């Protein structure tokens, strides 16, 4: 099991290194259209279900737009790119969630966000460990983080809709 976890860690590290290498340059032209897709989808959303559809829609689009297509490398590159874009959207939504809140509310909100981040990381680390022996570990980990982060953004958007 420890060997499997080491293999998963190395796979995730290699995927991260690949995302920082020249391979990422192939996906750089996708940043603006995917970012616009994320923002457009969220802006057009009108309920929790429509907000939550944005994550899978952007993942599917990236796989069709990316030069590596629906390959392991393509999935890893899309997960790295979308992970960055959804984290940026999470930061914007997080800032909006904090606007106008009282100090006591902020304390509770920050504690809840920290707990959510710990949960996301643990859930995704488990998902990677579960497939540690395979080549899909990097894809599974990245996909998990993109899915959970996009769902978190959707949840924030739903709350903000009523503020």
pLDDT confidence tier of residue 11, bands split at 50, 70 and 90 = very low
What is the per-residue DSSP string for the chain?
Answer: -HHHHHHHHHHHHHHHHHHHSTHHHHHGGGHHHHHHHHHHHHHH--SHHHHHTHHHHHHHHHHHHSTT-SSHHHHHHHHHHHHHHHHHHHHHHHHHHHTT--HHHHHHHHHHHHHHHHHHHHHHHHHHHHTTTSTTHHHHHHHHHHHHHHHHHHHHHHHHHT-
Give pLDDT, residue 84: 92
Per-residue pLDDT tens digits for 54-85: 898 988 888 888 776 777 788 888 888 999 99
Q: What is the pLDDT of residues 132-158, one digit of tens each?
A: 767 778 778 888 999 999 999 999 999
| Average pLDDT, integer, range 12-24 | 43
Per residue in 21-56, pLDDT (tens digit) is 444 677 788 888 999 999 999 988 888 888 889 898
pTM of the model: 0.79
Once rounded to an integer, what is the mean pLDDT over residues 99-128? Answer: 93
Tens of pLDDT along 99-109?
999 988 999 99
């Amino acid at each position: 099991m420890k060997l499997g976890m080491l293999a998963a860690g190395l796979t995730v590290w290699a995927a991260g290194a690949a995302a920082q290498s020249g391979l990422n340059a192939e996906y750089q032209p996708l940043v603006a259209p995917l970012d616009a897709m994320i923002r457009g989808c969220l802006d057009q959303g009108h309920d929790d279900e429509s907000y939550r559809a944005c994550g899978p829609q952007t993942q599917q689009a990236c796989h069709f737009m990316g030069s590596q297509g629906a390959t392991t490398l393509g999935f890893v590159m899309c997960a790295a790119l979308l992970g960055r874009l959804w984290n940026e959207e999470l930061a914007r939504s997080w800032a909006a969630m904090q606007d106008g809140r009282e100090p006591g509310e902020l304390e509770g909100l920050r504690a809840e966000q920290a707990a959510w981040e710990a949960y996301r990381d643990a859930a995704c680390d488990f998902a990677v460990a579960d497939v540690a022996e395979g080549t899909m570990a990097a894809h599974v980990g990245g996909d998990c983080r993109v899915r959970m982060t996009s769902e978190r953004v959707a949840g924030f958007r739903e709350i903000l809709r009523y503020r």
